[in-house]
Structure 1
Amino acid sequence: MIDLPNDLPVVNRRAVRVVVTDGTDRVLLFHTRDPDHPRLGTWWELPGGGMDPGETYLDTAVRELREETGIVVTADQVGAPTWRRRASFVHRQLRHVQDEVVVAVRLEGPGPDVDETDRLDYEREDYFAFRWWPLPEVAASRDRFYPGPLPRLITPFLAGEEIDEPFELWS
């Protein structure tokens, strides 16, 4: 059993994160903050989110990518959930405990600008920028990321390695 901080009400959920790469080997990341927790500063985060009732990981990946970025893909463009992880973090007034899978989506050509039309209100507040990062820059970066070990794990993940990450108490 994992000892969690007793700081906020806990919500348990399943979630999907998406490593979106473009034809120039760059990965899409959101520059993020939590207005309720300024002590956390800012970080770079993969698109993704919680699974709705009845959704598969494919359904969630396709929906979250469209909602958060405006990028429309089909389920057959979503890779297998070969990176599995469990993490906890605070967001707004809840402590999330998530069982996550990370999947890959490869786009042709250079990555498009992000379209915020279908974002939820809190996403419009939390995500204040985006960037298509060259993969070697992610791997070498000392910036803060979610998932935390993204710089170390993105290259093996994209090379097809199976990753079962230990629990991460992110915040």
Structure 2
Amino acid sequence: MRSVNLRHSVRAIVLDDDDRVLLCRLAIPGSDGVVVVWVAPGGGVEPGETRLAALRRELHEEIGPVAFDGEPARVWCQEVVGPGYAPGYDGVVNDYFLVRTRSFAPRGAMTDQELAAEHISAWRWWSLPEIVGYHGPDLFSPRDLATPLAALITHGVPTVPVALGP
């Protein structure tokens, strides 16, 4: 039996003072056209890198330096096995960390060409009611982002990271 080769990644639930979450728009080309997914910023953990070091690096690259209010807490975890989640891997394990900060205009160290190579086409601050009320063609990751986000905003950091679906 072959073991599953999963890519380990970190993602930041970046919440501003108004409890809006910063999400990036991924426009992912596929055989059926382009799929648009709004995801938390982040990416892969490199060999020898801690999760928090990877989180800081990924945020610097994608959205710019973020002033953390304290050490980010791990709030969610997600394992997704299937093709297309991480090239060269059987799937991905995402660890989500809460990052509280003031609202800002995202602009990381990556060039527009580097962002496009990662399929990142836009950034947007979303309120919980906007996510709940969204009925357009774009997807969120996780698909039911509103439920764990509402719990996080209402109840704060969980004692144990919440397991998420795809």
| TM-score category of the 2 structures, normalised to the smaller one | 0.7 to 0.9
Superposed, which structure 2 residues align to 1:108-119 within 5 Å?
108=102, 111-118=103-110
Letter paired with 1:165: A
Superposed, which structure 2 residues align to 1:1-171 within 5 Å?
12-37=6-31, 39-73=33-67, 77-88=70-81, 90=84, 94-108=88-102, 111-118=103-110, 121-125=113-117, 126-142=119-135, 143-158=138-153, 159-161=156-158, 162-165=160-163, 168=166
Secondary structure of 2:33's partner? helix
Contact 2:7 2:89 in 1 (8 A): no
Identity %: 29
| Structure 2, unaligned runs of 5 or more | none
Secondary structure of 2:73's partner? coil
| Structure 1, unaligned runs of 5 or more | 2-9
Number of aligned residue pairs: give it.
157
Contact 2:22 2:126 in 1 (8 A): yes
Contact 2:142 2:164 in 1 (8 A): no
How far is 1:105 from its partner? 0.5
1:49-68, CA deviations, whole angstroms, 9 ceiling, x for partnerless residues?
11111222211111111111
Q: Distance in 1 between matches of 2:87 and 2:57?
A: 24
Letter paired with 2:33: R
Contact 2:131 2:146 in 1 (8 A): yes
**TM-score, structure 2 normalization:** 0.77
- How large is the RMSD of aligned CA atoms in angstroms? 2.8
Contact 1:68 1:119 in 2 (8 A): no
Letter paired with 1:141: Y
